[in-house]
Amino acid sequence: MNFIGNMRILVLVCVMLAATACGSGRPAPAEPSVQDMPEETPVSTFVPSLDITDTTLVVYTTFSASFVEPVVAAFEEATGARVEVVMAGTGALLARLNEEADNPQADVLWGGAMFSVMPEAHLFEDYISVNEPYMLDIHRNVKGPFTLFNTSGRLLVVNTELLAEIGIEITGYEDLLQPGLRGLIAMADPATSGSSFNHLVNQLYAMGNGNPHDGWDYMRAFIDNVDGIMLPGSEDVINSVVDGRFAVGLTFEEAPWSYIEGGAPIDVVYISEGIIATSSAVSVITGAPNRDAARVFVDFVTSFEIQSIMEIELFRRPVRADVHSQGALPSNAELVWLYYDVEYVLDNRDTWLDQFAEIWAEVN
């Protein structure tokens, strides 16, 4: 059976077995309260709103190949379109889009936390997906260009063998200050890595007891214990922990699970001091050569089928109200979440990055 056929069967089975939380053994969570949600949920087949057969869609994405490839294959099968994918970090893709603004070479940016993409709103066109009525209230598109695609928590990935060897346990950010971890902490530059910037925000809020301006004493001690090692990007962080070069890495929620399933000696640590949740967007690029196909892609990745398979098989937290926790991820109720104001973070982004860079230069 083809890929999309397998997806439909899995989604339908999990919907029918939701009372037992398919694949998790946990009771299904309570129904969310969503205003104006349609009574009927489109559980079956995704139907493109436009005929885009033989169109070649160019997608810039921050997501990894293990996540992108099955979704793109399903999109191509469902629509008859072809997709060319360019993968890079959020900062690199936004820089590329700015360089290409007068002659756009891509149609969609898929991924990138709202912290990073909102300041670059001029690069994207307003579009309201056909799936907006099904979104959780907190994930509605209120900015115009940004359809939310998934939400994610920050976490730490640890190499269990290396931690056992050095005799260290980690439950949160405070533990990263242990002298035994000096030089064994993997991180990327928050100025170029969206994941790393999200961790900077998370650290400031968590270690400042909710006030990010009170978190800088911790950040100075943390930067000192990193010992001057800055990795090129988010993928390097997870790979270096998997390889045993580092004991712990600052990463995003989705990154470790495929490695864990593959038997890598790693585990995840949900930060005990609290976690900020960040949402990633999917957006149509301003002047996209294939605007219609780009809009169909936005609708596809926010469809019930893709959002369901994303949560069950691909370790992403969905944004739809009708997709419930049925996979490996812990439920929202099991974690400590921190409140933050996105606009406030954006207003302080450059200041915080400059302060981080100054401390980095001072201690290294």
**Is 34 contained in some domain?**
no
**Is 234 contained in some domain?**
yes
**Is 89 contained in some domain?**
no
The answer on pLDDT for 115 being more than 60 is: yes
How far apart CA 193 and CA 195 sit, in angstroms, is: 5
Structure tokens at 72: 């793109």
**Is 322 contained in some domain?**
no
**Is 308 contained in some domain?**
no
The answer on pLDDT for 10 being more than 90 is: no
| Residue corresponding to tokens 């926790």 | 325
pLDDT in tens, 305-345: 999 888 777 778 888 888 876 667 787 778 898 988 888 99
**Is 288 contained in some domain?**
no
What's the domain count of the chain? Answer: 1
CA-based nearest residue to 156, from 114, 186, 129, 136: 186
pLDDT in tens, 20-74: 333 332 223 333 333 344 444 443 457 788 899 999 999 999 888 888 999 999 9
How far apart CA 108 and CA 130 sit, in angstroms, is: 17
The answer on pLDDT for 157 being more than 80 is: yes
**Is 232 contained in some domain?**
yes
pLDDT in tens, 243-300: 999 999 999 888 898 899 899 999 999 999 999 888 889 999 999 999 999 999 999 9
CATH of the domain at 171: 3.40.190.10
**Is 161 contained in some domain?**
yes
Which structural domain, as residue segments, surrounds residue 240? Answer: 153-276+337-363
